[in-house]
Amino acid sequence: MKAELLVDSRCLLGEGPVWDEREGTLWWVDIDGKRLHRYHMAEGQHEQAALPAKVGSFALREKGGLITAGEHGWALCDEDGSNWTPLADPEKDCPRHRFNDGKCDAKGRFYAGTYSLDNKPEASLYVMHPDLTWHKLLDGGIVCSNGLAWSDDGKTLYYIDSPTKRIDRFTADPVSGRLSGRRTVIEIDEPGVVPDGMTIDEEGMLWVAEWGGWKVSRWNPHTGQRLMIIEVPAQHVTSCAFGGAQMDELFITTASIGLSEEDRLMQPHAGGVFHVHAGIKGRRSYRFAG
């Protein structure tokens, strides 16, 4: 199965796709380009807005606007990136760290992890609660916190720290959000390929974007078996999310950063957003309850 170009957004580091089922729009960010993107599916209209900082991830808010996690911690803003309101920066004393991938669980809590730009295992995973208090879930031992996905009952969290080249699972407490019982369920052994962002479908299977791998793979977390490959005409595949009217469309973000001129000729739409009708429905993107 092959993904096709949806939006030639030319992102340096496209990331964090979020489907808004209420408005029929797809959101994503260009981390290094400091841009917020939105695509209206029905009209085929692409909008973008400048952001004041690098944003690694974000979520739509129930109250309207966005919560973001980026190089200066968490912040709230309007849908056009304006009215930027900082909340907290738990790693303000670590200038070589920034927030990376993040996502809300079904309770409306926003989980986001950090990334050590020096590739040291000193990053962490945090959760921001709807009352705007936060706590640290995983203290250190992480290099590049990435994909997050929850089981349907909210009792299992699947998690990626990219350089480990594996997907781990935690037992998640649906009430407190705290994690325990970490173990590896999937290992990716392809040279030059690391897992990046991730989503989950209605059957509980994981869809993993593979940086350096030209693809998104569907994995069974119970057996560790790869079930399907979605080919993407861009080498650096960063993340994916389900959406569309029937929730069976997979949206895929990519990056162009670090590509040589020769690479760019071979993949002229790198940094764009691609899509494919996956033949199975996925889980929606949850909103931040704060």
Helix or strand run (H / E) with residue 49: strand 45-50
Task: Report the pLDDT value the prediction gives residue 89, as an integer from 0 to 100.
Answer: 97
Count of C-beta atoms within a 10 Å radius of residue 131: 8
- Of 31, 80, 84, 25, nearest to 57 by C-alpha is 31
User: Residue 34: inside a domain, yes or no?
Assistant: yes
**Catalytic hit among 20, 101, 161, 196:** 196
The answer to whether residue 290 is domain-embedded is no
Residue 19 is predicted with a pLDDT of 98
Mean pLDDT by 10 residues, the chain (290 residues): 98 98 98 98 97 98 98 97 96 94 97 96 97 95 98 97 98 93 97 98 99 99 98 99 98 97 96 98 96
The secondary structure of 222-272, three-state, reads: CCCEEEEEEECCCCEEEEEEEECCCCCEEEEEEECCCCCHHHHHHCCCCCC
Pair 194, 166: CB distance under 8 Å: no
Residue 231, annotated as binding a ligand: no
Whether 264 is covered by a domain: the verdict is: yes
What pLDDT shows up at residue 121? 96
- Domain limits for position 81: 4-277
Q: Using only the alpha carbons of the chain, give its radius of gyration.
A: 17
- 40 DSSP β-pair partners: 25, 45
CATH number, residue 231: 2.120.10.30
From the number of C-beta atoms within 10 Å of its C-beta (0-12, 13-18, 19+), residue 201 rates as buried
196 an active-site residue? yes
- Assess contact for 278 and 56: CB atoms under 8 A: no
Q: Is 15 labelled a binding residue?
A: yes
The pLDDT assigned to 242 comes to 99
Beta carbons of 59 and 286 less than 8 angstroms apart = yes
100 a known binding residue? yes
Cβ atoms < 10 Å from Cβ of 107: 16
Q: How far apart are CA 170 and CA 157, in angstroms?
A: 5
Residue 78's pLDDT is what?
97
> Considering only CA atoms, which of 104, 146, 109, 108 is closest in space to residue 18?
104
Please report whether residue 289 resides in a domain: no
Q: How far is CA 141 from each of CA 113, 131, 161, 215, rounded to the nearest angstrom?
A: 12, 28, 9, 28
Known binding residue 146? Answer is yes
Please state, in angstroms and rounded to a whole number, the distance separating the CA atoms of residues 135 and 129: 8
Q: How far apart are CA 252 and CA 269, in angstroms?
A: 12
What is the count of structural domains for the chain? 1
